[in-house]
Homo-oligomer: A and B are copies of this chain.
Amino acid sequence: MIHAPLRNDTFLRALLREPTEYTPVWLMRQAGRYLPEYRATRARAGSFLALAQNPELACEVTIQPLDRYALDAAILFSDILTVPDAMGLGLYFADGEGPRFARPLRDEASILALGAPDPNRELRYVMDAVRTIRGALAGRVPLIGFSGSPWTLAVYMIEGGGTDDFREVKTMLYRRPDLMLHLLNVLTEAVADYLNAQIEAGAQAVMIFDTWGGVLTSSQYLKYSLGPMQRVVERLHRERDEPVGAGVGLDAGGGPSGMQRVRVPSIVFTKGGGQWLEPLSACGADAVGLDWTTELSDARARIGSRCALQGNLDPMALMGEDAQIRAEVARVFESFGVPQVGTGHVFNLGHGISQHTRPEAVSALVDAVHAYGRKMRAPGA
């Protein structure tokens, strides 16, 4: 499959800490329930899972926010729990509740029986979605692939769904650390294979969502969350072939085939991980995502010369009026400070956008980010 040249590589350049004309922006969960067109497609699909498993419909909702807003990246529409589902746990969604597994992991035998799925077989619908979306994007913006972190997947797999106290997973962690590490090793392999298959299928950047790393102690975080995540990052394919002009190339021009090797940047994000930015930024990823509890100024001082930073507006800031949203955007920019050579900033929310967001609020946000980012780079700014 030959892809169209990339017309907007601002996002990829920012991740790789190369100069950009403005600060690129995308939003976690940008294809989602706050958009009426998303709700319409989902209604047609019948359920969230049917939507996520249908490549054409997944493509449709992936593109929807790009048709409304001048976003600088698309992100694959999928669920964070596709991998455990492919491992046989039976993902389903109870009405009005979050994800659930029909067969959560509760004993040694069920954990020892697990193996990493073949992403091109059991998760083929995801790779088909990636290919379909790349075709539909036609070089408009880059496509981000993603996965949950091994620890985050393990939490859901052991708890069987959402949890307030993480009792099941922590009971295993304290009682059977050996079993927990075995599970995380299997998931490390599964997540690396899954992300590499997405890259092979066309993902131009990848992000690892560590939703639950923040519930651990520091030493547990390093061992059970960051360690496996780092081993995933080490195994990632960092380059792929694209037509000349379709990415941030490794060399000046393309060969006679018109193809070139381009870099595939990676982003890691631990929600609630502000205390562990130093080790997180040393895991080998190109960028670190930040939730809204960490000041960008602080993060930049601590790690900004080592990694690009992504974030970090509080999603609830979008509950404000447009002028208030613009003021909050300005605050995020002021905290990051003037971009310099070797720093990179991708504007984003600190967590997924709320379903209760007014669609117009996102217009105010995206326009403010682009305007402010250009102003900041203007001579004499």
Give chain A's interface residues, CB within 8 Å of chain B: 165-167, 170-171, 173-175, 214-219, 221, 272, 274-275, 292-295, 298, 314-317, 319-321, 324, 328, 331, 354, 356
In whole angstroms, what is the CA distance A328 to B170 when docked?
13
Instruction: Give the 3 A-B residue pairs with the shortest CB-CB distance, closest first.
Output: A170-B316, A174-B320, A171-B319
**Main SS of chain A's interface residues?**
helix
Contact A293 B214 (CB under 8 A): yes
- Contact A174/B218 with A293-B272, A354-B165 known, Cβ cut-off 8 Å: no
Chain B residues lying within 8 Å of A298, measured Cβ to Cβ, are 218, 275
Contact of A175 among B214, B275, B324 (CB under 8 A): B324
A274 to B217, CA, bound (A): 11
Contact A316/B166 with A174-B324, A175-B321, A321-B175 known, Cβ cut-off 8 Å: yes
In the bound complex, CA of A165 to CA of B354 (Å): 8
Instruction: Enumerate chain B residues within 8 angstroms of A173, measured Cβ to Cβ.
Output: 316
Q: Which residues of B contact A356 (CB under 8 A)?
A: 167
A174 and B293 in contact, given A274-B275, A275-B275 (Cβ under 8 angstroms): no
**A75: min CB distance to chain B, Å:** 21
A320 CB contacts on chain B under 8 angstroms: 171, 174-175
Query: Are A170 and B314 interface neighbours, CB within 8 A?
Result: yes
The distance in angstroms between the C-alpha atoms of A184 and B170, with both chains bound, is: 36
Q: For the complex formed, measure the closest distance between the CB of A333 and the CB atoms of chain B, giving whole angstroms.
A: 14
Closest Cβ neighbor of A215 among chain B residues = B293
Please state if A216 and B319 are interface contacts (CB–CB under 8 Å).
no
Determine the chain B residues whose CB is within 8 A of the CB of A328 once the complex forms: 174
Question: Which residues of the other chain, B, contact A214 by a CB distance below 8 angstroms?
Answer: 293
Q: Which among A175, A217, A292, A324 has the greatest number of chain B C-beta atoms within 10 A?
A: A217
Among residues of B, the one whose C-beta sits closest to the C-beta of A317 is B174
**Known pairs A275-B293, A293-B272, A356-B167; A319 contacts B174 (CB<8 A):** yes
A166 to chain B, nearest CB (A): 7
Chain B residues with CB under 8 Å of A166's CB are: 316
Bound-complex Cα distance A316 to B171 (A): 7
Query: Measured between alpha carbons, how far is A217 from B317 in the docked complex, in Å?
Result: 11
Contacting residues, chain B, for A216 (C-beta < 8 A): 293
Q: Bound state CA distance, A242 and B170, in angstroms?
A: 44
Collect the chain B residues with CB atoms within 8 Å of residue A316's CB. 165-167, 170-171, 173-174
CB neighbours of A293 from chain B (8 A): 214-218, 221, 272, 275
CA A219 – CA B354 in complex, angstroms?
22
Q: Is the CB of B275 within 8 A of A294?
A: yes
Chain B residues near A295: list those with CB within 8 A. 217-219
29 contacts between A and B (CB under 8 A): A165-B316, A166-B316, A167-B316, A167-B319, A167-B356, A170-B314, A171-B316, A171-B320, A174-B316, A174-B317, A174-B319, A174-B320, A174-B328, A175-B319, A175-B320, A175-B324, A214-B293, A215-B293, A217-B293, A217-B295, A218-B295, A219-B331, A221-B293, A272-B293, A274-B274, A274-B275, A275-B293, A275-B294, A275-B298
